[in-house]
Each structure stands twice: as structure tokens, then as C-alpha cells.
Structure 1
């Protein structure tokens, strides 16, 4: 498929897809005329890249994991697992911090709602 179809299927702009290629997150083949061509597997790759970026992984970190997504090797898998475990731990810590902040916010909301209710006032 060409870049326009990949863009349509993933909801990612052509410009951003070209940026992903520049960063090493996607690799296309080229036609004799220089047009980019992508396989069906690139739809899933773009989805994964979007999820990883949304979770806070840098494009550099994702690029380190790309080889294990496309063509796994023993050395690549070991290196990628190290990176993935590090990122999973970072995401778990961020998730725990968000949960703690949410609980603290819930307590403050409850305290303020109670305070206003005791004074016959509405929020």
C-alpha cells in the first residue's frame, strides 16, 4: 500500500508517517520511481508506535525496540527485553503516581463537598 492508504487506515498524517521513517520507527520499500510502499504489518506497527508515544516513550526508545518487532534475533531480543522491562517499570511507576494523585484529589473533593454541605452551600 502507498503512504496515502496507510495514512487513511491509521489516521496518521502522511507527514507524520514520513517523520516516523526519519526516526527509524517505520521502514518502507521504494518503487523504482521512489514511492513509498508499506505492507499490511505496517498498520499494526503504526498503532504500536502511537500507543508507545502516548505512554511517554521517546521515539529513540521505540526505535531501539523496532528491530525486535520486525526481524527478531537473539541479541536483538535480549536488548529489546531490557529496554521493554525498563519502560514497563517506568510506566508502572507513573501509573502508581497517577493513582496516588487521583486518591488525594478524591479526598480533597470529599472534604470540600462535606465542608460546603455543612454550611448549606452548594459547590
Structure 2
């Protein structure tokens, strides 16, 4: 595909009283005006934050260091599968992190979350 739009998004963030400026660049195959480009970048980050935020909180994904062979990719697939299984289990009103912990402590809840009934 041919790039039709190059987008630069400048943002500011204050963390612990310190200001940080960021510039992120995007390339799109769609022609866009500024309003449509902003909407596209916001929806992109909404998806990123929803999925990766859940993975990072529930599994501390940002701190993992699996570097041999395909270990990182394989573990990422397993974490996403487990996250989806835990989201489907509505039997208890718990955070993803607490659901994960409960699976470690309670075999019945683990089997229920995996859809296994023994």
C-alpha cells in the first residue's frame, strides 16, 4: 500500500510533578484531515491501552524477560488466552489480577475459568 497520510501527534504528560513532551508518528494508507487523524490515533491507543494495560496489570508483562527462542511469543499467546478465559468467567466480581491469583489458590475456580468441569 502507498502512504497517503503522515500524522505527527504531539502530547504532554505530567508524572510526579515533571512534565514530559512526546511526539508519535503514524502512517496511513487513507487520506485524512486533522480531525479524522486524531480520531484514528485515539482509537488505536484505546485498543492498545485496553489489551496491554490488562496484560501488564494481571501478568506484569512489562517486567517479564523471556528471551530464548520463541519463549516470549509463546508466553504472550498463553497470557492472551488466559486473559480471555478469565474475562469470560463472570462468577465472581474480581479484578483480572485477583482472578489470576485465585486460580493459583483454588483449583475449582481454575477449572471453572478454563471451562473444565470435573
Could you say which structure has the larger radius of gyration?
1
- Report the TM-score, using the length of structure 2 for normalisation: 0.34
Q: Which has the higher strand share?
A: 2
- Report the TM-score, using the length of structure 1 for normalisation: 0.33
Q: Which has the higher helix share?
A: 1
